C-alpha cells in the first residue's frame, strides 16, 4: 500500500505565483522527508529535505513546512518560474525511500 | 566525480526474454538501491545493498527478478522471462553510507519496454 499520499496530481500556476504540494504519511519510523524534482527522461534529483524535529526549512524559493503531530508536510514554490515545470515527488525515509505518486507542475509564462 | 550511471538507457524486450540492467554507483558509495517507476507513478523500492550484501529484497515483485552486487560496486538487476507488466523505468540510487543516513543520488534510469 502507498505509505505516502501526495496531492494534487497536477497543478498549473502563472509565472511569479506560488505552487503548493501536500503530503501525508502514517509510518512514524520515517526520520527524513526529502522532495525530489524530476524532468522527463531524467532521474529524480534532490530539491530540499527536512527532519521531523524541524517545522520549516527554506532554501531559496523552496520551503518545506512540516507538521509532525498531523503527519503532514508540504512544499511551497515561491515566485514560480517556467523552468520549475517538472514533476515533484515527496518522499519519506526509514532507510529506503517511500515516494508519493507525484505532482506535475506547469508554470505558464 | 561522475554521478550514478545506468545502462542501457533504453531496452526493448520481447515477452519471455531475459534482460540485465546495469548500475554504476558513485565511487565510494556504500549503499545501493534499485527502484521501479511505472508510468505516471512515483518510484517504488525493489532492493537494497550495503557493499556486496543484499540486506533487503522485499520489494522485488517476483522470483523472476534478481539483483547482485558481487564486488560491492557495480550492480546488475536481472529480469527473467519478462512480462508486459515489467515495463517501467528502473532507477538505481547510491548513497555514501549505510543505514539511510546520507542522501540518495539517482541515475537517469533504464526504460524497459516489453512487447
A100 vs B: CB within 8 A: yes
How many interface pairs between A and B have CB atoms less than 8 angstroms apart? Answer: 56
Question: How far is the C-alpha of B108 from the C-alpha of B114, rounded, in Å?
Answer: 19
Query: Looking at the domain that runs over B5-100, which CATH code has it been given?
Result: 2.60.40.10
**Residue pLDDT, tens place only, A12-49:** 999 999 999 999 999 999 999 999 999 999 999 999 99
Q: Map grid coordinates 526493448 to a residue.
A: B12
Tens of pLDDT, residue by residue over A56-92, are 999 999 999 999 999 999 999 999 999 999 999 999 9
Domain edges within chain A: 4-81+92-108
For A72, the grid coordinates are 503532514
Q: Is residue B98 very low, low, confident or very high in pLDDT (cuts 50, 70, 90)? A: low
Confidence class of residue B99 from pLDDT cuts 50, 70 and 90? Answer: low
Residue B17 pLDDT > 60: yes
The residue written with cell numbers 524497459 in the block is B112
Chain A: closest CA distance from residue B100 (Å): 4
- Residue with grid cell 511551497, as numbered in its chain: A76
Shortest CA distance to B69 belongs to which of B59, B82, B83, B55?
Answer: B55
- Report DSSP letters for A39-70, one per residue: -TTS--EEEEEE-TT-SEEEETTEEEEEETTT
Average pLDDT over residues A2-15: 96
Interchain pair A42, B45: CB under 8 A:
no
Assign domain A4-81+92-108 to a CATH class: mainly beta
Alpha carbon distance B79, B17 (integer Å): 9
Instruction: Closest CB to A96: pick one of B33, B40, B106.
Output: B33
Amino acid at each position: 500500500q502507498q505509505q505516502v499520499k501526495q496531492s494534487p496530481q497536477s497543478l498549473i500556476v502563472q509565472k511569479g505565483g506560488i505552487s503548493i504540494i501536500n503530503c501525508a504519511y502514517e509510518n512514524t519510523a520515517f526520520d527524513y522527508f526529502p522532495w525530489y524534482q524530476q524532468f522527463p527522461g531524467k532521474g529524480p534529483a534532490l530539491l530540499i529535505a527536512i527532519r521531523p524535529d524541524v517545522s520549516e526549512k527554506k532554501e531559496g524559493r523552496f520551503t518545506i513546512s512540516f507538521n509532525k503531530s498531523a503527519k503532514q508536510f508540504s512544499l511551497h514554490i515561491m515566485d514560480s518560474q517556467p523552468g520549475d515545470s517538472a514533476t515533484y515527488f515527496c518522499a519519506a525515509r526509514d532507510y529506503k525511500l517511500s515516494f508519493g505518486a507525484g505532482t506535475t507542475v506547469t508554470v505558464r509564462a | 566525480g561522475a554521478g550514478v550511471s545506468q545502462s542501457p538507457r533504453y531496452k526493448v524486450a520481447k515477452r519471455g526474454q531475459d534482460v540485465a540492467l546495469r548500475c554504476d554507483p558513485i565511487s565510494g558509495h556504500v549503499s545501493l538501491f534499485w527502484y521501479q517507476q511505472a508510468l505516471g507513478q512515483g518510484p517504488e523500492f525493489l532492493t537494497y545493498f550495503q557493499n556486496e550484501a543484499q540486506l533487503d529484497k522485499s520489494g522485488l515483485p517476483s522470483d523472476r527478478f534478481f539483483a547482485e552486487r558481487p564486488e560491492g560496486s557495480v550492480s546488475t538487476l536481472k529480469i527473467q522471462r519478462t512480462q508486459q507488466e515489467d515495463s517501467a523505468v528502473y532507477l538505481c540510487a547510491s548513497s555514501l553510507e549505510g543505514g539511510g543516513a546520507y542522501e540518495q543520488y539517482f541515475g537517469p534510469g533504464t526504460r524497459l519496454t516489453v512487447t
